[in-house]
Amino acid sequence: MGILEKISEIEKEIARTQKNKATEYHLGVLKAKLAKYRQQLLEPTGKKGEKGEGFDVLKSGDARVALIGFPSVGKSTLLSTLTDTHSEAASYEFTTLTCIPGVISYNGANIQLLDLPGIIEGAAQGKGRGRQVIAVARTADLVLMMLDATKGHVQRGLLEAELESVGIRLNKPKPNIYFKLKKAGGISFNATCILSKIDEKLVQMILHEYKIFNAEVLFREDCTADELIDVICANRVYLPCLYVYNKIDQVSMEEVDRLARMPNTVVVSCNMKLNLDYLLETVWEMLALVRVYTKKPGQPPDFDDGLILRKGCNAEHVCHAIHRTIVATFKYALVWGTSTKFNPQRVGLNHVMNDEDVIQIVKK
């Protein structure tokens, strides 16, 4: 029996089993087996050229956005509209067969946008070019899920299920579980909160399924068996996802209004160029990028060439972005902007920068 058959058998067994207190251990073990087989399925078999032509795209720019969706939802049209790259667009399915990169210049940042071939149902099992598409999506900072407004709810569920099955978690925080393998001493289980979704016996059964007999597990929040399996597998990717509903010119105003009110959602029409400015604004917010401008003593700030950093960056990150040797000779910095109590404020390396702050570095 091949891996695909085993996966199919376990999925059927999970669907058949009633969910109650008596079956939770059985379901937990089944889920652990399922995750194990899916991991084996995704690991490359070691053959050269496994990744597939046109998929090894060098990461460039300040952030990477993966554009995924079913065939013919308007991904290529969006790429051609937002960037200077031409991606073949036609009204038939599978027009795009390789990964096409483009660059969006926005707020002084270069954001790499990857147009990936359409995902079909069963992509996680390797149908279409599903595995390669998913491998590239794992390297992105943000997933832009393109959906057809006329049949969006069906597509969204199927795509989320495909990504979920290959370890891509969308708009979810990492489970707050500390897990460490040990050489000996058995399984030590602790929790800093009351657990209602899992208990020590289920944790041990899941670990034994992975042939783990010595480990330290500490639950810092009430997590499920699925979240524990994610932590054990240690290959899950947690990505923010923006749902983009295209072709809003083909549905009623009531439907457009309903879609637009959903969280992490933007409605657009690529053909009529509707709402694309708001889409870029939302992408910028979800990437959590920050612009920091530098200033030389006695000169005005350089607003043409800002540094693009991540939210939560401090003065030390700014120094590294300018040149890695600056930290060694750093004395203090003067900062103007919303992160200070007064302008300019004298700060140290740990001062957290805000968007559009101006910094002047003083060396020893």
Q: How far apart are CA 359 and CA 54, in angstroms?
A: 41
Spell out, as residue ranges, where the chain has pLDDT lower than 70: 42-58, 85-98, 118-132, 152
Q: What are the CB-based long-range contacts (under 8 Å, 24+) for 84-87?
A: 85/115, 87/115
- Domain limits of the chain? 63-171+237-287, 176-222, 289-363
Sheet with 177-181, strands from edge to edge, namely: 177-181, 215-219, 187-191
Q: What is the pLDDT of residue 2?
A: 78
Q: Is the dihedral of CA 70, 72, 76, 82 positive or negative?
A: negative
Look-up: residue for tokens 């809003």? 248
What is the pLDDT, as a whole number, of residue 5?
84
CB-based contact 279:267 (threshold 8 Å): no
Torsion of CA 45, 47, 48, 51, to 10 degrees: -40
pLDDT at 49: 42
User: Residue 139's pLDDT is what?
Assistant: 85
The residue type at 188: S
Distance of alpha carbon 11 from alpha carbon 177, whole angstroms: 26
What's the confidence (pLDDT) of residue 218? 94
Q: Give, as one character, the DSSP assignment of residue 85.
A: -
Q: Nearest Cα to 75, choosing from 109, 105, 49, 101? A: 101
Superfamily of segment(s) 289-363? Beta-grasp domain (3.10.20.30)
Q: How far apart are CA 256 and CA 222, in angstroms?
A: 37
Residue 96: the pLDDT is 47
In CATH, what is the architecture of 63-171+237-287?
3-Layer(aba) Sandwich (3.40)
What integer pLDDT is reported at residue 137 of this predicted model?
78
Provide the CA 265 distance to its chain's centre, in angstroms: 15
Q: What is the model's pLDDT at position 50?
A: 44
The residue behind tokens 């491998």 is: 135
φ and ψ of 355, to 5 deg:
-65, 135
**What's the rounded Cα separation, in Å, for the pair 131 and 338?**
44
Short-list 136, 137, 117, 142, CA closest to 127: 117
CA-angle at 93, arms to 88 and 96, nearest 5°: 35
Q: How far is CA 315 from CA 11, 311, 338, in A?
A: 50, 12, 14
DSSP lists the bridge partners of residue 246 as 148
**What DSSP line would sit under 166-197, residue for residue?**
TTEEES-PPP-EEEEE-SSS-EEEEESS--SS
